[in-house]
Homo-oligomer: A and B are copies of this chain.
Amino acid sequence: MSVKYDYQRLERLGMPEAILCDGKHAEHLEQLLEELLARPEHPALFTRLHQQVFDTLAPHVATPLDYCRVSNTAILHGVLPQRTGSVAVVTAGTSDLRVAMEASRTLEFTGIPHTLIADVGVAGVWRLLERIDEIRSHDVVIVVAGMDAALASVLGGLVDKCIIGVPTSIGYGVAAGGNTALNAMLASCGQGVTVTNIDNGFGAACAAIRILNAINSQVTT
């Protein structure tokens, strides 16, 4: 009973299937890796591949992987050709980097230019204002924030482009698990902000790809 990889998704949706490693048995993962190793024409992205699982993979399947221990992602067979469009990935705090890097790596893998702007949370709103023109210059802004996630609301009032909120599960007490950040983003007074699942940096990057798909189909027609 092996993992069935969807080789047509790239063509169909403009983004490849990523392998979510969480919850998969190590043996199923190794089988899939062996299958993909034999198909170098199919670059592949692995998400939520935790260090302790990565460390148990057999060397012949682990070695070819470009692994990032902050975002727990791995890339196989290089990245896709570069596309037009640009994305800003903005974080409120240092602890949100883990998730922001998942978005960043997904964009890197799919060939999309992007900038990571970290630690501009609203407890120091002037830090954000100093960089607001830079943020505004992108087609899509991904906002990664936990706790009260207030950054999404403030940005929603300052930027007229697409804003995708990614709540993170950092923090403790009522913040633990990320539901407060999720609900605060959904209830955001910054109109037109949309939201992904908690910690889903990959999903935010995919949403950005969908937007760039729309831009590119318009531009080219």
Contact = CB atoms under 8 A, between A and B. Distances in A.
Contacts of A214: 139-140, 161-162, 211, 215
A175 interface: yes
A124 B162 CA distance: 17
Given A157-B124, A178-B173, A148 B191 contact: no
Given A123-B156, A150-B150, A150-B153, A197 B186 contact: yes
Instruction: Give the oligomeric copy count.
Output: 8
Q: Classify chain A: how many residues form its interface, as a range.
A: 35 or more
A1 B158 CA distance: 25
A79 interface: no
A56 to B, nearest CB: 14
Given A173-B169, A195-B186, A160 B210 contact: yes
Interface in A94-144: 94-95, 97-98, 116, 118-119, 121-125, 129, 139-140
A65 interface: no
Interface of A: 1, 3-4, 6, 9, 12-15, 17-18, 20, 22-25, 28, 48, 70, 85, 92-95, 97-98, 116, 118-119, 121-125, 129, 139-140, 147-150, 152-154, 156-164, 167, 169-200, 202-211, 213-215, 217-219
Return the 10 tightest CB-CB contacts between A and B, nearest first. Answer: A192-B206, A173-B198, A150-B150, A194-B194, A23-B95, A123-B157, A175-B187, A180-B183, A173-B197, A148-B184
